[in-house]
Structure 1
Amino acid sequence: MKYLIAGLGNIGPDYENTRHNIGFMILDAFAKASNVVFQDKRYGFVAETRLRNRSLLLLKPSTFMNLSGNAVRYWLQHEKIDNEHLLVVVDDLSLPFGSLRLKSKGSDAGHNGLKNIQELIGQNYARLRFGIGNDFPRGRQVDYVLSEFSDEEKILLPQKIETAVDIIRSFCLSGADVTMNQYNKR
């Protein structure tokens, strides 16, 4: 079985440690734990690994957030992976910092990266939402998501990222329903 795990973010040093790039950060941690490195390929940075009898393709799109669907669609088609074996890892303003929610399908919830993916492949795919909180003044959402985590959040970030990596493993090994039951209650 093949899986595509897409972590959303923006490429370049200006965005590297921003809240909007938590998808990239989680995939970097997954790749490091799997002892694989990303290679610059079409539409993104790609790493391949195995988890028991499953083949995982990790994707960090190089299309920038708002065009993430181009990369996701390309790699789904190129690798002949079904949508039910796709997991998109994304930041979420509506969840408190560090909260993790796996959903087997759903709306884009106002997230431009998810919106573009949905326009190109529909909404029947799993997404792992990582809460980044919403502690910003009215009208300053863009500045907030493109800023770095606070010092307090940076202390807690490694543990939260490790839990996200565990959720990805569980999704690939046990499926969305089992994983949601195990992790969404926390």
Structure 2
Amino acid sequence: MTTDASTGGTAGPWLVAGLGNPGPGHAGNRHNVGFLVTDLLASRLGGKFKVHKSRARVVEGRIGVPGVSGQRIVLAQPLSYMNLSGRPVGALRDFYKVPVGRIVVVHDELDIDFGALRLKKGGGDNGHNGLKSLTKTLGADYFRVRFGVGRPPGRMPVADYVLKDFSAVERKELDYFVDRAADAVESLIVDGLERAQSTYNS
């Protein structure tokens, strides 16, 4: 097992949870950007999501250079709705015996411009129901890859905004930003938080 730059340990796999709501009706929503990023990571691993008894879809694989910086990774997409994300992620944590310091959560962030990223460890939930559920189950000390979706226009309620699909203008750039977010997840795991922040925090 390789030593990880951000934890200084030789623990088991990393758990990367992309947040979203299940079902085709939500697939293009801003709230589902965590699913988009983990879908791309799964394709990079050459794996397909399978339903796990934890009520999540999972893919297992390795990223990095095998034997040098290779890290075992479990990608997860909860099958619960966003506000109950903590239950399946907590069950996966227990099943794979993952310490909180090796859990990465990818989620939408209202207070960041569309496509911008912020990587951090710990912190509050900023009113995000998925993070609220996760923190209740895991504690707050997990890594976050925060994908900016911007604020709703005018007086549109936040709930309506995040449950709408990305706009036609946003979709023109969405693939690029999702690709960059997937790169950021890989860098966080392989290179450590500080190096990933210096490259991807924008």
TM-score range, shorter chain: over 0.9
CA contact (8 A) 2:152 2:158 kept: no
Deviations 1:98-144 (A, max 9, x none): 01110111111110000011111110010011001113332521111
Aligned twin of 1:176: 193
Matched letter for residue 162 of structure 1: D
Amino acid aligned to 2:58: V
Q: Does 1:113 align with 2:124?
A: no
What one-letter code is carried by the residue in structure 2 that aligns with 1:34?
A: L
Match of 1:167 among 171, 181, 184: 184
For the pair 1:26 / 2:42, whether they are aligned, the reply is: no
User: 2:65 aligned with 1:48, yes or no?
Assistant: no
Q: How does 1:151-166 map to 2 (within 5 A)?
A: 151-166=168-183
1:14 and 2:31 are equivalent in the alignment:
no
Q: Match of 1:68?
A: 85
**What letter corresponds to residue 89 of structure 1 in structure 2?**
V
Structure 2 counterpart of 1:17, one-letter code: G
TM-score by length of structure 2 reads 0.88
Once the two structures are TM-superposed, the CA of residue 77 in structure 1 deviates from its matched residue by: 1.0
Q: Structure 2 CA distance, aligned partners of 1:168 and 1:177?
A: 12
Distance 1:15 1:72 in 2: 20
Q: SS in structure 2 opposite 1:152? A: helix
CA distance, structure 1, for counterparts of residue 95 and residue 143 of structure 2: 19
Structure 1 runs (4+) deviating above 4 angstroms are none
Three-state SS of the structure 2 residue aligned to 1:14 is: helix
State whether structure 2 residue 158 is matched by structure 1 residue 141: yes
* Aligned mates of 1:76, 1:165 — CA distance in 2: 21
Structure 2's unaligned 5+ residue stretches are: 1-11
| Cα deviation code 1:117-172 (max 9, x no counterpart) | 11111100100110011133325211110111111100100110110011111111
- Tell me the amino acid that sits aligned with residue 130 of structure 1: F
| Distance of 1:143 and 1:137 partners within structure 2 | 12
* Deviation readout 1:65-100 (Å, 9 max, x if unpaired): 000001111111110111111000000111110011
